[in-house]
């Protein structure tokens, strides 16, 4: 296993940021680490990368303990923090050569050239970092995180603030990296998880509430909850639906359309049809909506 976290607890005074968090990640897997703001994502990532010691429990990276073998762990890990710390007055090549020097890499100019090509910085390599767009600064951050060829890559909000074109490019880059390395990334963008992650770990209030393959996570959640889309021929009052058993919440998406979040163990569609007949309301459309990661995330984190 590339990463093994065992009953990791982190205390800030009396506040418990992590509460006995345990998981393992094998090599060659891209894992999305998800959770609301303040859930403990960044704390966990900083613990894995040896920036924060756990209060209790243990973390091992490539078989090395983060407390006892921190220097060796850092050689195995590449880290891109949420707030990408770059020297804005340095040139792109100058900065990457500086990082390569810290790692005492042989043939550092050759390695810098390889990284510039890998992350697509060729057209911007002669600029100062401060003159780069947000997307290209993220590429520089990825390059510095990978320049020492780490086995594990930890990315905290790697696509934060990027425009749609930059999102596509960075996602593609992370997917390609994940073919050879273990990647753990934190994100608030659920479509990103569906697009590039093999598996998702969801944390809420310092505790893991789900750890599944992305497809399995959607299916698991849909056993307890389903989303029904109903369209009527005339305008509808959503308050009337509160009497139908099994409906958890009602979202009125237009004057004639409703999105019903319902108990997955009850045939709510049949109940809706029966209600419409009894109340002389004509249905124009009735369908079941597949659960996406955003709905799964809301369901798993709203109850705690």
Boundary-marking domain end, from 214, 241, 267: 214
Do 104 and 173 reside in the same domain of the chain? yes
Indicate the number of domains in the chain. 2
Do 151 and 250 reside in the same domain of the chain? no
CATH of the domain at 262: 3.30.2130.10
Do 31 and 180 reside in the same domain of the chain? yes
Do 232 and 275 reside in the same domain of the chain? yes
Task: Evaluate whether 67 touches 219 at the Cβ level (below 8 Å).
Answer: no
Boundary-marking domain end, from 214, 237, 272: 214
pLDDT at 221: 54
Long-range contacts of 213-216 (CB under 8 A, 24+ apart): 214/32, 214/293
Q: What is the pLDDT of residues 290-303, one digit of tens each?
A: 666 777 777 777 65
Do 192 and 247 reside in the same domain of the chain? no
Q: How far, in Å, are 47, 49, 123 from residue 70 at the CA level?
A: 10, 8, 36
Do 135 and 264 reside in the same domain of the chain? no
Q: What is the rounded average pLDDT for all residues in the chain?
A: 86
Q: Which residues pair with 18 in a beta bridge?
A: 10
Q: Which residues pair with 6 in a beta bridge?
A: 58
Integer Cα distance of 151 and 75 in angstroms:
9
Q: What is the pLDDT of residues 135-185, one digit of tens each?
A: 889 889 989 999 999 999 999 888 776 778 777 888 888 888 888 889 999
Do 206 and 230 reside in the same domain of the chain? no
Integer Cα distance of 279 and 271 in angstroms:
12
Boundary-marking domain end, from 191, 214, 237: 214
160 in helix, strand or coil? coil
Do 194 and 250 reside in the same domain of the chain? no
Q: Which positions ≥6 away from 42 have C-beta within 8 Å?
A: 82, 156, 186
Where do the H-state alpha helices sit in 3-157? 41-48, 70-76, 92-102, 108-118, 134-146
Integer Cα distance of 263 and 286 in angstroms:
16
CATH of the domain at 152: 3.40.50.300
Q: What is the pLDDT of residues 107-148, one digit of tens each?
A: 899 999 999 988 888 889 889 999 998 888 988 998 999 999
Tell me the residue range of the domain where 260 lies: 223-302
Do 28 and 164 reside in the same domain of the chain? yes
Q: What is the pLDDT of residues 53-96, one digit of tens each?
A: 999 999 999 999 999 999 999 999 999 988 888 999 999 999 99
Do 202 and 85 reside in the same domain of the chain? yes
Do 84 and 20 reside in the same domain of the chain? yes
Q: For the full predicted model, state whether its pTM sits above 0.85.
A: no
Percent helix, strand and coil across the chain, each to the nearest 5: 35, 30, 30
Beta strand pairing call for 30-34 and 182-186: parallel
Do 27 and 151 reside in the same domain of the chain? yes
Integer Cα distance of 126 and 122 in angstroms:
8
């Amino acid at each position: 296993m590339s990463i093994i976290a065992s009953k990791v607890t982190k205390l800030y005074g009396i506040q418990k940021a992590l509460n006995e968090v345990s998981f393992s990640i094998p090599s060659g897997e891209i894992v999305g680490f998800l959770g609301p703001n303040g859930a403990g994502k960044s704390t966990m990532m900083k613990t894995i990368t040896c920036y924060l010691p756990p209060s209790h429990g243990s973390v091992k990276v490539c078989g090395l303990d983060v407390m006892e073998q921190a220097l060796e762990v850092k050689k195995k890990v590449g880290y891109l923090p949420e707030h990408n710390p770059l020297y804005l007055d340095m040139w792109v090549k100058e900065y990457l050569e500086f990082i390569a020097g810290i790692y005492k890499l042989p043939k550092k100019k050759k390695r810098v050239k390889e990284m510039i090509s890998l992350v697509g910085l060729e057209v911007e390599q002669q600029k100062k970092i401060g003159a780069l767009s947000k997307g290209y600064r993220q590429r520089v951050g990825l390059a510095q995180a990978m320049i020492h060829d780490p086995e594990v890559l930890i990315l905290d909000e790697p696509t934060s603030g990027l425009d749609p074109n930059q999102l596509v490019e960075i996602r593609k880059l992370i997917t390609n990296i994940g073919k050879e390395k273990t990647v753990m990334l934190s994100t608030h963008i659920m479509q990103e998880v569906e697009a590039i992650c093999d598996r998702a770990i969801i944390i809420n209030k310092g505790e893991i509430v789900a750890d599944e393959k992305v497809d399995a996570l959607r299916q698991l959640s849909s056993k307890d909850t389903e989303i029904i889309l109903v369209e009527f021929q005339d305008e509808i009052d959503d308050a009337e639906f509160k009497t139908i058993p099994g409906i958890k919440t009602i979202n009125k998406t237009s004057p004639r359309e409703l999105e019903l979040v319902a108990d997955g163990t009850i045939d709510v569609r049949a109940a809706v049809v029966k209600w419409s007949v009894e109340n002389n309301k004509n249905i124009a459309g009735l369908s079941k909506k597949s659960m996406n990661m955003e709905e799964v995330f809301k369901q798993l984190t709203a109850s705690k």
